[in-house]
Structure 1
């Protein structure tokens, strides 16, 4: 019996990839994704069926948790009708959205691939076509009738990454993203090479579930020499604050001045979650490794290990939204839920 072609849903949320140049005026205008196969005939060579939907496109600089919920709901409502999803997104906040969706989509057993471009799809030297074509190809990969990729990923410039491991590193180069603490899942060259041993696998026979309750009453403090008490207090004094991400030095170190440690301890006792991640591009927080981070460990600061800032923020929003008890929160946050930490 001939196997049917995989059905792929292409979701356009906005971004440079959705723009084409009007050659008469020179102005950029929105690309009509309903005519996708006409404009990019190479897509007809792919062994899959492609449908498109536009989700009220916005500039990715305006991305927010409410819009993440809209994307998640589109996947939820179409989950049983499609074998894979490709989400076209502006590159500036793509790692944030990919990280958030990884937590929101529990027991995901199908590919959700984020991609975009540095240049518009109609530009002479665009990277959009390759990113789009290969993302759809990756989303349609199957073995024994099952999707090979079963997680939220990000594809850009010949590499497929786990979405919640990525960060944008360059505003000008085509190689705009990196996954500093985790190997790429696939690499596109003459052949498409999948690194099977690094793929995330959901729990078997568990029901797909979409979490829509995100709490964005959180703060981010990047440590720097000379940071003042007033600045740190201004973050902790924010109304309805639930948690704070601390971007510390190296392996999780920061100032040990009494005012700083006391301020953290007071707020932790109030029930505000404080997460320690490194501001280094790569590497991990190892609390207690140096004396300067040992005090943080003693007062109950949570280790973010090797989380990216994007994953740390979206994971905090997700877990605060789950109303987990204070006693369970620390152990849950320090646990890898979707392959986001080592």
Structure 2
């Protein structure tokens, strides 16, 4: 009996991968999805049935926001029962934010969602987009011996590595291996074979109906600590009545200067009902509010630790939880729950 091919939907949202060089002036111009696929005739040799969907107006990833994430999620929701997996073409600048968003939006996901892109446009000779796209589609179509999809979560594929999407960060503007996963191992690595790290994968035991959460609230503000930060500067940054959550980018394992005036300012806002998240400026490692005096003091006044979550995952998770209109206590409780593998427990 002939094996049934996996049905994969390729979703084009925009990004460098969908560009080509204008032969007249050397500028980059968008390709149609149809012409983009023509650049890779090898796609016809893949062991899957490939369909395509393109945003009417492709989006530069620097323009991404939660409405954009909702648009992608709707495409998946509307086609979830028609396809076995999804590959999303996306710009690299905010790819990690989108991956984090989809991972928290798509509750009970049991099908592969692979996001990929490129550093060089598909229309250029040395593009990395060709391999990224071919391998992403192949990965999204792979099943185990029992017929279940090996990947059952949102992931990013880039330069021979597959990562959990909500663990990713873009760290380079010029290298092909521009995406890293500082605090979680690769889900798979592509060489002669696709080598899966089965112990790192999310595998569903109880299968429930896909539920998609479209609620967002962007009432947040980012405050980055730096040597010499003045009390007046922090006071000015905190004087935003519309902000519900302040994300503090701190030093090392979550430290700030041990000055009472700074701590008192934060405590005063906590007492007013504002929430604070402590996320490290270091990409690798985690926030530790239990060892050093500075972290202990922040924990004591009610600042929440981001632990080993990426900055991108923190931003997305905070906006999602605010959209649920939780109490301050409810927000604090939910923030410390691992929703989709973004947090080591």
Q: TM-score range by the shorter chain?
A: over 0.9
Give the Cα–Cα distance (whole angstroms) in 2 for the partners of residues 27 and 262 of structure 1: 52
* Structure 1 equivalent of residue 254 of structure 2: 252
* Structure 2 equivalent of residue 2 of structure 1: 2
Q: Secondary structure at the match of 1:11?
A: strand
Contact 2:12–2:53 (Cα < 8 Å) also in 1: yes
Give the Cα–Cα distance (whole angstroms) in 1 for the partners of residues 326 and 299 of structure 2: 21
* Structure 2 equivalent of residue 47 of structure 1: 47
Assess, with a 3 A threshold, how the Cα gap between structure 1 residues 249 and 24 changes in structure 2: closer, same or farther. Answer: closer
Q: Secondary structure at the match of 1:2?
A: coil
Please list the CA deviations of residues 210-245 of structure 1 after superposition, one character each: whole Å capped at 9, or x if unmatched.
111111110111111111233323332224211111
Contact 2:110–2:207 (Cα < 8 Å) also in 1: no
Cα drift, residue 203 of structure 1: 5.5
Cα drift, residue 277 of structure 1: 1.3
Give the Cα–Cα distance (whole angstroms) in 2 for the partners of residues 258 and 203 of structure 1: 49
Contact 2:39–2:123 (Cα < 8 Å) also in 1: no
- Once structures 1 and 2 are overlaid, which stretch shifts more, 151-160 or 266-275? 266-275
Q: What RMSD in Å do the two structures reach over aligned CA positions?
A: 1.5
Give the Cα–Cα distance (whole angstroms) in 1 for the partners of residues 8 and 35 of structure 2: 16
- Structure 2: which 5+ residue stretches go unaligned? none
Q: Secondary structure at the match of 1:20?
A: strand
* Structure 2 equivalent of residue 227 of structure 1: 229
Cα drift, residue 22 of structure 1: 4.1
Q: Secondary structure at the match of 1:241?
A: coil
Cα drift, residue 35 of structure 1: 4.4
* Structure 2 equivalent of residue 121 of structure 1: 122
Cα drift, residue 37 of structure 1: 4.5
Please list the CA deviations of residues 285-304 of structure 1 after superposition, one character each: whole Å capped at 9, or x if unmatched.
11021011111010111111
Give the Cα–Cα distance (whole angstroms) in 1 for the partners of residues 114 and 246 of structure 2: 29
Cα drift, residue 27 of structure 1: 4.0
- Once structures 1 and 2 are overlaid, which stretch shifts more, 30-39 or 273-282? 30-39
* Structure 2 equivalent of residue 197 of structure 1: 199
- Once structures 1 and 2 are overlaid, which stretch shifts more, 137-146 or 74-83? 137-146
Cα drift, residue 86 of structure 1: 0.8
Contact 2:12–2:58 (Cα < 8 Å) also in 1: yes
* Structure 1 equivalent of residue 93 of structure 2: 92
Give the Cα–Cα distance (whole angstroms) in 1 for the partners of residues 12 and 299 of structure 2: 43
Q: Does 1:32 align with 2:32?
A: yes
Give the Cα–Cα distance (whole angstroms) in 1 for the partners of residues 172 and 320 of structure 2: 27
- Once structures 1 and 2 are overlaid, which stretch shifts more, 194-203 or 117-126? 194-203
Give the Cα–Cα distance (whole angstroms) in 1 for the partners of residues 92 and 232 of structure 2: 34
Give the Cα–Cα distance (whole angstroms) in 2 for the partners of residues 160 and 221 of structure 1: 31
Give the Cα–Cα distance (whole angstroms) in 2 for the partners of residues 106 and 302 of structure 1: 24
Assess, with a 3 A threshold, how the Cα gap between structure 1 residues 96 and 37 changes in structure 2: closer, same or farther. Answer: closer
Q: Secondary structure at the match of 1:147?
A: coil
Please list the CA deviations of residues 274-319 of structure 1 after superposition, one character each: whole Å capped at 9, or x if unmatched.
1111111200111021011111010111111011110010010111
* Structure 1 equivalent of residue 105 of structure 2: 104
Matches within 5 A, 1:1-342: 1-23=1-23, 26-55=26-55, 56-143=57-144, 144-202=146-204, 204-342=206-344
TM-score normalised to the size of structure 1?
0.96
Cα drift, residue 162 of structure 1: 0.4
Cα drift, residue 31 of structure 1: 1.5
Contact 1:107–1:203 (Cα < 8 Å) also in 2: no
Give the aligned length. 342
Cα drift, residue 24 of structure 1: 5.9
